[in-house]
Structure 1
Amino acid sequence: MASLHGAVSSSEIISKSAQNREASMRIGIIGLGRMGTALATRLHGCGHDLVVWNRTPEKARGLIEGGAVLGETPVAVVNKSEVIITCLLDASALEAVFGGDQGILAAEVNGKLFIEMSTVQPKTQRALAERIAAIGGGYVECPVSGATGPAREGRLIGLVGGSPDDVARARPVLEQLCRRIEHAGPVGSGASLKLAINLPLVVYYQALGEAYSLCRHLGIEPERIVDLFSDTSGGANILKTRGAMIAKGMRGDDPQPVTFDVDSFRKDLRTMLVEGAERGFSLPVTERALSVYDEASQQGWGARDGTSLAGYWSGRSAARSLDERQDD
């Protein structure tokens, strides 16, 4: 029994460890970018045996040293796993991993469950689900809301699309990764929600930069500005969770550690615009935000954390204002 002070007894630890071993699975993880590595770290900590693959094997080193098995190809990962998680950059990366002689679809797929966690268009998810179903596999999409820190702690929000049966199969794994699982409907539904949820956040970083441009001349510390905004109707939840990084970005510094960089946000913005166009409507605010993100990337900000954008526009505006005054 836990003590009154919240300490955990050795018997509880042993019991929990035994439960983890009893419920452990052989999980394949394909794609070891920042998020893929965080997901793998979490699942390894939950007692699962991992088989991992990445296009650049060096990124798997830490996981291998921790006990994961390196699969030489996506085929090898699938053949050695019960559940396979993919977390990749875009549709092209997914096709490279699913297709080809050594791709997922060339493996023994029948009866296995795939959990696809990339941020792509709904049609991409539906097409992959159809290809997996045609050879006997189960398929659930689960793009997530949250950064690498919450991923390592099992506090993501899972935006799930799939059949009730496949989602029920995936739920034990997803519950170890997510604090909330939102089953939105069939495959493709999760992707739609993910794009919708990401859009206000990406636009907000630009809006915050423009807002800071209007008060930067006051000389108020960025930390104080962030705290003030978070306490008003002009605040967003991100100010409470990542306020320190945003303030650092406002100073013009490079927020660290990088969890989701500017170029990745550009990819998401482009995906939103394509999805909107295919559904017959425009996204003018998104389109304008993308132009600023593109400009920031061209100025060398592409690899910076997305929170840095709160400082990009205000810094750019201040520099141009100074140049104009000097010209006068």
Structure 2
Amino acid sequence: MTGPARVGLADGSPLTLSIARHLIAAGHRLTAYAPSWADARQMEEAGAELVTAPAQLAHCDVVINGLVDTGAKAAFYLHDDGLLKAARPGQLFVDHTIVDPSQARHLAERAARRGAGFLDVPLTGGVQKARQGRLIAVVGGETQHLDLARPLLNAYCADIVHAGPVGRGTELQLIGHMLVSVHAVAAAEAAALIARLGLPPRESKRVLMSAPAASSMLDHCLPAAFTTSEIESGATIGGLLHAQSLAADLAARLDVPVRLLPAVRGQFAALIRRGRARHDLSQLARAYDHEAA
């Protein structure tokens, strides 16, 4: 795929909207489906042609999916008017969502029956990196399909990592989400200790971030963890729950006795029960406020 492609894009999240803008800026013809009117309007303002049903993306050379909801995703691909029912030879499906790796392989098999390709391509970097066009794509799938997708991915990704066959991209990303979850809880516990000791937050962060203890989550969570906030975030407590469940399933299937993850999931679940699912990861520290009360 050397010239501008006919690209279909499903979803209307802030991250996907940034992807749409980069694709249009790169000269690709974009047709978009978004579940809500507000999201669809933003896609249209970005320069995409709108459709009202996923099946209307069937004419596109490459279809990129960002629909996270499990039911919406199943309908998108497998419903009576789902796109895999109408897939054609040479067409390519690129899925940016986190799914069970076995589901990714099933979708790839369904696509292959009709001569189409499928890649599972979870993205790292969040909304800010998406706006900058500096996401990291972790790809599972055949090399020939990645070669077709690469010119599109280059429009919004700073790096493209081929992890192996279909499903491997998601599996590597699940390991990443497991680490983020563990590091976020560790940062929350560090914040709780710093607060109880009365240590200066910014100075404490400077020391810890210059030591082997440094991590991206520590950088993200300090000093924000010291302030109660209900501001919604692109890196939310609830946003990791599904990936944690899939990571736990993956470990169980491989007979790897992960011991930290169950405790970490418990901390996330406790905050979600308290209505903090859409709050920033730094607010995991509020679990320790509750325990101290």
What is the SS of the residue equivalent to 1:133? helix
What is the SS of the residue equivalent to 2:262? helix
**Contact 2:20/2:48 (<8 A) preserved:** no
Report the residue type matching 2:256 in the other structure.
F
Q: How far off its partner does 1:288 sit?
A: 1.0
2:49 paired residue number: 69
Residues paired across the two proteins, number: 292
Q: Which has the larger radius of gyration?
A: 1
Report the residue type matching 2:173 in the other structure.
K
Report the residue type matching 1:248 in the other structure.
A
1:313 paired residue number: 287
What is the SS of the residue equivalent to 1:128? helix
Q: Distance in 1 between matches of 2:224 and 2:148?
A: 42
**Contact 2:66/2:97 (<8 A) preserved:** yes
2:243 paired residue number: 268
Deviations 1:267-307 (A, max 9, x none): 11111111222222332211111111111011110111233
Q: How far off its partner does 1:225 sit?
A: 3.1
**Contact 1:90/1:118 (<8 A) preserved:** no
Q: How does 1:95-106 map to 2 (within 5 A)?
A: 95-106=74-85
Give structure 1 stretches of 5+ with no counterpart: 1-21, 324-328
1:10 paired residue number: none
What is the SS of the residue equivalent to 1:180? strand
Q: Residue 28 of structure 2: which of 38, 41, 48 is its match? A: 48
Q: How does 1:182-197 map to 2 (within 5 A)?
A: 182-197=161-176
What is the SS of the residue equivalent to 1:24? coil
Q: How does 1:142-153 map to 2 (within 5 A)?
A: 142-153=121-132
What is the SS of the residue equivalent to 2:158? strand
Report the residue type matching 2:250 in the other structure.
E
**Contact 1:140/1:162 (<8 A) preserved:** yes
Q: How far off its partner does 1:193 sit?
A: 0.6
What's the Cα RMSD here? Answer: 2.0
Name which of structure 1's ranges 187-196 and 100-109 shifts more when overlaid on structure 2.
100-109
What is the SS of the residue equivalent to 1:223? helix
What is the SS of the residue equivalent to 1:176? coil
**Contact 2:194/2:201 (<8 A) preserved:** no
Higher helix content, 1 or 2 = 1
1:27 paired residue number: 7
Q: Distance in 1 between matches of 2:123 and 2:256?
A: 25
**Contact 1:85/1:117 (<8 A) preserved:** yes
Report the residue type matching 2:248 in the other structure.
L
TM-score computed with the length of structure 1 as normaliser: 0.82
**Contact 1:28/1:85 (<8 A) preserved:** yes
Report the residue type matching 1:131 in the other structure.
R
2:141 paired residue number: 162
**Contact 2:183/2:218 (<8 A) preserved:** no
Report the residue type matching 1:149 in the other structure.
Q
Identical pairs, percent: 26
Report the residue type matching 1:66 in the other structure.
A
Matched, 1:282 2:257: yes
Q: How does 1:138-287 map to 2 (within 5 A)?
A: 138-240=117-219, 242=220, 246-255=222-231, 258-287=233-262
Q: How far off its partner does 1:101 sit?
A: 2.3
Deviations 1:18-52 (A, max 9, x none): xxxx9432211112223322322322232322211
TM-score computed with the length of structure 2 as normaliser: 0.91
